[in-house]
Amino acid sequence: MLYKDKIVLREQKLHTEKKFIRGDSIIKKGGETMNSENVLKMIVTSSVRYKVLLALSEGAKALSEIQAQVGSTKSTISHALSDLVDEGLITQDPDTKKYNLTNIGHLVSLQMKNVSRALESIKKFEEFWLSHDLSGIPEELLLRIGDLKDSKLHTTTPEYLKLPHDVYMELIRTSKWIKGVSPILFADYPEEFLGLAFGEEVDIEIITTRTVYEKLIELAPPEAVEKVRKLPNVKLYVINENPKVAFTVTNNFLSLGLFLLNGTYDMMNDLISSSPRAKKWGIDLFEYYKRNAERVI
């Protein structure tokens, strides 16, 4: 092979590798490639193909099993299966005749599930997301907003503002560990948290602003503050920025409060969930703020 031909082949190979790394294409059966936008369009424009993909994410299935789960005609499902096979997302076992997801199909199905959860969460709490400032939640966690789909929005009226707060405090009292970020301060916070700290040896980690920390020290008895400083189960951090989010995550629940678009904290709405996904989401949000916080107690 001529030296010039070798250079051309190498350039072609590098071009293909760069396209794959950028996500421009996905390897299909037979070594062909397809555009990633076409993959998305192919799935979302057909509810049958989408349902088939999700059905196979549970494991290998025969045509009859897929039909029973998806609920469409055998002919329609066969066409969907053929399309998914052609795009390299599924394959059929020649011996059992059952269909399986390929590695690419598995990855795509995971992303489709994530999108489905996110859309469900967005739709379920549409007014809540629209009317509040989301800038206190980093993009990586906004991408996982579907983890909050099983939450319940506790809402009150101006006549009884304490309802979400009462629900929150009731849940707090039964927790074994507590992590929270709070740029706000309720009058009963110092007494409640001191009771938890001295009572059942609850592990407590709180991140707050410098202003709230100073007010907290002012409201708490000096002797109580000194005792808290010696407790190994209590950690208090101060952050210089305004988090624009108030939340608590414990072994039992996640409680999420947000600021309104005008900059005031919304005391009338609290998103609460006890699902493992929501609690993990809350822990990750806490760790995000903890990275920029300074421990003061």
Do residues 293 and 238 touch, judged by C-beta distance below 8 A?
Answer: yes
Q: What tokens appear for 262 in the block?
A: 């005008």
d(CA 68, CA 62): 10
pLDDT given at position 201: 72
d(CA 163, CA 269): 9
d(CA 194, CA 240): 24
pLDDT beneath 50: ranges in the chain: 2-27, 29, 31
pLDDT given at position 230: 81
- Ramachandran angles phi, psi of 177, nearest 5°: -145, 150
Q: For residue 122, list its beta bridge partners.
A: none
pLDDT given at position 189: 59
Strands (E), the chain: 25-27, 33-35, 90-92, 99-101, 132-133, 152-155, 177-182, 203-209, 234-239, 245-250, 254-260, 269-273, 294-295
What's the one-letter identity of residue 119? L
pLDDT given at position 19: 36
pLDDT digits 0-9 by tens, 51-95: 999 999 999 999 999 999 998 888 999 999 999 998 899 999 999
pLDDT given at position 33: 54
pLDDT given at position 204: 87
State how far Cα 60 lies from the chain centre: 28
pLDDT given at position 250: 92
pLDDT given at position 241: 86
